[in-house]
Chain A
Amino acid sequence: MKKVKQLTAVILAFALVFGLAGCTRGGAGDKDSKSGSAETKKAEDLKVVMMPKVMGMPIFESYYNAAKEQADELGITLDYIGPSELDASKQVNLVQDLISGGDTDALLICPADGEALVPVLKEAMDAGIRVYTWDDDVVDETAREYFINMCGDKIYGEQMGKTIGDMLEGKGKVGVVNGNMTATSLTLKEEALQDVLKNEFPDIQVMPTVYHGGDQQKAYALCQDLLTANPDLDLIAVIATPGLLGAAQAVDASGRSEVIVYGAEQPNNIKEYMKKDNLNVVGCLWDVMTLGKEAVNIVYSCLADGKEYKEGDTVEGYPDSSVIGTNITFNAVLEFDKDTVDDYNF
């Protein structure tokens, strides 16, 4: 008898725990059978999951805010689920559990690793979940329907390279800070950046790349080391958020205001440092809010309207956008400095 009592107590305890965590799974019994991708569904029934590389990174929060607003307007359900660490195996597990859960219509995912996610995304597609990647992609394009990004990685990297060359007037020493080593998009951006510097600005010396892994504190420490090791450093180029903040902090703390800090960050987050008189901080990103919003729009159009995006198409309302293969891109890099940072709100 005692065992049964203890068992009941434990079950009730878990009920409390799950209840506090806020799970409500009403109507789980009456699920529709999995239909093929050809069928379109009513807006109110559409359940989309947005999965960032990792939870808690500001840029992804911004993506989600814009996406949620658009989702609410369209009347669809958008859940924001992601791994608590930047760890591909955790993200793979999450996608697997989504497949088990059985009530996801579409997955909008920013893969933590371009290779590791391929098998499980294919599995998801087989299970009837429509998969789209945004911000970063997987290496196998059959693992998802479309890759949605604001501007091609090559274009972004080339722009960065050109701006760096222009800012340094062709001569100087540059330190490069990137995010995580297995991110396809970040790697491609860096390659483009390095190519432009090598080919068009051969007198610029580039230091070996360091990686902050999505951690602002780590970026700070890495930039401090860069500054210490290179007393003649002219510019720190940051390819992935939230590194720019760490770089700006490091340069600020070092007092070496001649070092230009340039790279990826959202205007709101870097505004304070950008406006400091002793710092020269220039941002290079893209309109995060638009990407978040349009990603949801595109997913919705595919599911609810059965839309297909073919080579040469453009996205409605964005004449500069293009569809290259299965990559839907808006071709819009955004650069801003202390004079223009207030124009943006994200």
Chain B
Amino acid sequence: MKKIAKTFDGNDRLLLIVFLGLTIFLSVTTPEFLAFGNLMRILQQMCELGIVSLGIMLVILTGGFDMSSSAMIGMTSVMVGVLFKGGLNIWTSVLLSLMAALLAGLFNGWLVGELKIAPMLATLGTMTLYQGIALALSKGDAISGFPEGFLMLGQGYLAGIPLQLFLLAGLVILMSVVMNKGRFGRKVYLIGSGPVGSRFAGINVKMTIILCYASAALLAGLSGVVVTSRLATARADAGASYMFEGVAAVMLGGTDLAGGSGKVSGTIIGVLVFAILGNGLNLNKISSLKRQMLIGIVLLAVLLIRQFSGKLKERRMISGQNKQQTNSM
């Protein structure tokens, strides 16, 4: 608990400053940025990454790492397409595909939680498996021809606000409540801080881990449904870049890669920072090739600042202690 409170000070402040700074800078230099249409489009574009990043964060909090998130997006996307083309109602297809994602997630969790395989290795294997399933089911083709109703999810607006934003907002609220108020959230943070200690504290580590990986897969699946709807095509390579981008956003948002600390709000702001940065670069017609470089620079800068401010704090604390000792002598 204390660790989370400490994180609120340093990391969050830096992140908010980066976010505000970028927003102000773009508002001043690129007036089109502030146009309602543009802001809504940014929000529409970032939802897919936002949803899957929530899941990525959840797994990282346990001290693990899920490499299969992108593959899950592709697999879910393809399943929706294949089932729909096979004659099922579109929403039945979506439901069944999400269930498949959940099962895949349970499998991930079982490998890590029960068989105790290193998370990165386990999910590297399952990533290849799910990618393979997606390619085999789709035979490499993209599937399209979805009904209007389904396309509304990814392309529709309600009162000018993109529909998938409501989904993301709902998930953010749900996850914040679960992580901060519920016992489950506390268990996750404790496991991330120290799996051995957690077990001695009486937590069913295995069950919690399985649930985390399952939830992450389900979130990735949801992201896959949104992507499929927005692009009106089911593809095996849907969301291929989202795993790395998601991890970058989660790290930017202040989640410790070793697990144990991180906030939902941080992750979402991290995703927003990247989305806004990308939008700003596009509006200024800066080549996409330079864009990768710039995103990398921003990420590294924030991480370095965090690292140094962390060390500074440590030194201050230590010198403070020494001062007290000398005073009392």
Contact residues of A with B, CB < 8 Å?
A: 3, 6-7, 10-11, 13-15, 17-18, 21-23, 25, 28-29, 49, 55-56, 79-85, 87-90, 92-94, 96-102, 113, 115-116, 118-119, 181-182, 211
1/0 per position for B216-227, CB-CB distance to A under 8 A? Answer: 000000000001
Query: Which chain A residues lie closer than 8 Å to B121 at the CB level?
Result: none
Chain B, Cβ-Cβ closest to A6? B17
Structural contact, B30 and A116, CB atoms closer than 8 A? no
Structural contact, A82 and B284, CB atoms closer than 8 A? no
1/0 per position for B123-140, CB-CB distance to A under 8 A? Answer: 000000000000000001
Q: Select one of A82, A88, A116, A181 contacting B288, CB under 8 A.
A: A82
How far, in angstroms, from A13 to B24 measured CA to CA in the complex? 12
Q: Select one of B155, B232, B239, B284 contacting A18, CB under 8 A.
A: B284
Shortest distance in angstroms between B94's beta carbon and chain A's nearest beta carbon? 18
Structural contact, A211 and B286, CB atoms closer than 8 A? no
Structural contact, A94 and B282, CB atoms closer than 8 A? yes
Query: In terms of DSSP, what is the predominant structure of the interface of chain B?
Result: helix
Query: Which chain B residues lie closer than 8 Å to A22 at the CB level?
Result: 286, 290
How far, in angstroms, from A234 to B230 measured CA to CA in the complex? 43
Shortest distance in angstroms between A220's beta carbon and chain B's nearest beta carbon? 19
Structural contact, B22 and A96, CB atoms closer than 8 A? no
Enumerate 6 A-B pairs (CB-CB under 8 Å) in ascending A order.
A17-B298, A25-B284, A28-B31, A89-B48, A93-B278, A115-B142
How far, in angstroms, from A96 to B43 measured CA to CA in the complex? 12
1/0 per position for B23-40, CB-CB distance to A under 8 A? Answer: 011000111110101100
How far, in angstroms, from A211 to B287 measured CA to CA in the complex? 27
Whether, in the assembled complex, B169 has its beta carbon less than 8 Å from a beta carbon of chain A, the answer is no
Structural contact, B45 and A93, CB atoms closer than 8 A? yes
Structural contact, B232 and A116, CB atoms closer than 8 A? yes
Whether, in the assembled complex, B196 has its beta carbon less than 8 Å from a beta carbon of chain A, the answer is no
Structural contact, A100 and B290, CB atoms closer than 8 A? no
How many residues from B make CB contacts under 8 Å with A? Answer: 56
Query: Which chain B residues lie closer than 8 Å to A182 at the CB level?
Result: 141-142, 233, 235
Instruction: Report how many A-B pairs have Cβ atoms within 8 Å.
Output: 139
How far, in angstroms, from A249 to B143 measured CA to CA in the complex? 33
Query: Which chain B residues lie closer than 8 Å to A118 at the CB level?
Result: 232
Chain B, Cβ-Cβ closest to A3? B17
Shortest distance in angstroms between B23's beta carbon and chain A's nearest beta carbon? 10
Query: Which chain B residues lie closer than 8 Å to A3 at the CB level?
Result: 13, 17
Are A21 and B286 also in contact (CB < 8 A) when A10-B21, A182-B142 are?
yes
Structural contact, B240 and A98, CB atoms closer than 8 A? no
Are A87 and B17 also in contact (CB < 8 A) when A100-B32, A100-B283 are?
no
How far, in angstroms, from A211 to B322 measured CA to CA in the complex? 66
Q: Select one of A18, A55, A80, A115 contacting B233, CB under 8 A.
A: A115
Structural contact, B290 and A21, CB atoms closer than 8 A? yes
Structural contact, A115 and B232, CB atoms closer than 8 A? yes
Shortest distance in angstroms between A103's beta carbon and chain B's nearest beta carbon? 8
Whether, in the assembled complex, B92 has its beta carbon less than 8 Å from a beta carbon of chain A, the answer is no
Contact residues of B with A, CB < 8 Å?
A: 13, 17-18, 20-22, 24-25, 29-33, 35, 37-38, 41, 44-45, 48, 140-142, 144, 151, 155, 227, 230-233, 235, 237-241, 278-292, 294, 297-298, 301
Q: B237, B281, B298: which has the most chain A beta carbons within 10 Å?
A: B237
Chain B, Cβ-Cβ closest to A92? B231
Structural contact, B235 and A88, CB atoms closer than 8 A? yes
Other A-B pairs beyond A10-B20, A18-B286, A211-B140, 17, CB < 8 Å: A7-B21, A17-B298, A18-B281, A25-B30, A25-B284, A49-B285, A81-B282, A81-B288, A87-B241, A89-B231, A93-B282, A99-B37, A113-B235, A119-B232, A181-B141, A181-B142, A182-B235
Q: Select one of A7, A14, A23, A113 contacting B285, CB under 8 A.
A: A23
Structural contact, B25 and A14, CB atoms closer than 8 A? yes
Structural contact, A87 and B35, CB atoms closer than 8 A? no
Structural contact, B294 and A21, CB atoms closer than 8 A? yes
Structural contact, B22 and A14, CB atoms closer than 8 A? yes
Structural contact, A88 and B45, CB atoms closer than 8 A? no
Shortest distance in angstroms between B13's beta carbon and chain A's nearest beta carbon? 8
Chain A, Cβ-Cβ closest to B239? A89
Query: Which chain B residues lie closer than 8 Å to A18 at the CB level?
Result: 25, 29, 280-281, 284, 286
Structural contact, B25 and A15, CB atoms closer than 8 A? yes
Structural contact, B279 and A97, CB atoms closer than 8 A? yes
Query: Which chain A residues lie closer than 8 Å to B286 at the CB level?
Result: 18, 21-23
Shortest distance in angstroms between B116's beta carbon and chain A's nearest beta carbon? 35
Query: Which chain A residues lie closer than 8 Å to B25 at the CB level?
Result: 11, 14-15, 18
Query: Which chain A residues lie closer than 8 Å to B297 at the CB level?
Result: 17
Q: Select one of B18, B32, B144 contacting A28, CB under 8 A.
A: B32
Structural contact, B289 and A84, CB atoms closer than 8 A? yes
Are A100 and B37 also in contact (CB < 8 A) when A89-B231, A181-B142 are?
yes
Query: Which chain A residues lie closer than 8 Å to B287 at the CB level?
Result: 55, 80-81
Structural contact, B232 and A101, CB atoms closer than 8 A? no
Shortest distance in angstroms between A82's beta carbon and chain B's nearest beta carbon? 6
Structural contact, B241 and A97, CB atoms closer than 8 A? no
Structural contact, A7 and B20, CB atoms closer than 8 A? yes
How far, in angstroms, from A98 to B282 measured CA to CA in the complex? 7
Q: A3, A29, A181, A211: which has the most chain B beta carbons within 10 Å?
A: A181
Shortest distance in angstroms between B83's beta carbon and chain A's nearest beta carbon? 18
Chain B, Cβ-Cβ closest to A211? B140
Structural contact, A7 and B17, CB atoms closer than 8 A? yes
Shortest distance in angstroms between B131's beta carbon and chain A's nearest beta carbon? 13
Chain A, Cβ-Cβ closest to B275? A93
Structural contact, B41 and A96, CB atoms closer than 8 A? yes
Chain B, Cβ-Cβ closest to A28? B31
Shortest distance in angstroms between A58's beta carbon and chain B's nearest beta carbon? 14
Structural contact, B238 and A100, CB atoms closer than 8 A? no
How far, in angstroms, from A159 to B260 measured CA to CA in the complex? 62
Structural contact, B282 and A97, CB atoms closer than 8 A? yes
Chain B, Cβ-Cβ closest to A83? B288
How far, in angstroms, from A272 to B243 measured CA to CA in the complex? 39
Chain A, Cβ-Cβ closest to B44? A96
